[in-house]
Amino acid sequence: MPSTESYRLLLAAAAACEDKKAEDVRILALDPSESGLTDYFLICNGTNERQNVAITDEIEMRLKRDFSATPNSVEGRRQAEWILMDYVDFIVHVFSAEKRAFYGLERLRKSATTISVAALNAELKAKIASTRAKSAKPGVPARAPAKMASRKTAKKAATPRKPAAKRPSGRKPSDTRAARKK
């Protein structure tokens, strides 16, 4: 079973594909008995080689920036007709439209199930909720620490501030009184 970190990485990679206008983005959940290679395939295609490189660059940059994750290997970037990025728990395949139709990974992996991004996101939320429920102490509400923290910040906001020290203006008190009379 993939970790929540793997789900997050996969969702971020799919979002990067969408941001770079990749076409026909699909996530295939591979059958564990059939594939000891990886858990998921993220498959998409671009309209030309330059867009394929842009898609993979965006995926690599986003996962490195947000998760400090780099691919174990990247293949096919020079030709850019089929670029493969191996992130261990999932593999990204960015095809040209012709190569995707020719190789047909979806046909080769008949036992794999296609998962939508929304379904994967819901699965991630369910996994996080179950992890939180397991780690919660019996008899203690799950949100207790957050409420205590908000009370502390409310107390800080409610405490009056000390008035700022007055700066000397360089004038003598008699000068200001004389200026007021005039």
Q: Please give the Cα distance from 108 to 111 (Å, whole number).
A: 9
Nearest to 13, CA basis, from 123, 120, 128: 120
Confidence band for 48, pLDDT divided at 50, 70 and 90: very high
Say if residues 74 and 83 touch (Cβ distance below 8 Å): yes
Element (H, E) at 112: none
Looking at residue 37, its pLDDT comes to 82
- Superfamily holding 4-134: Beta Polymerase, domain 2 (3.30.460.10)
Element (H, E) at 84: strand 82-86
Model pTM score: 0.69
In sequence order, the β-bridge partners of residue 44 are 94
Structure confidence by residue, pLDDT tens digits, 110-137:
778 888 888 888 888 888 888 888 877 6
Looking at residue 98, its pLDDT comes to 95
Looking at residue 105, its pLDDT comes to 87
Where would I find the H helices in 136-158? 144-158
Looking at residue 19, its pLDDT comes to 94
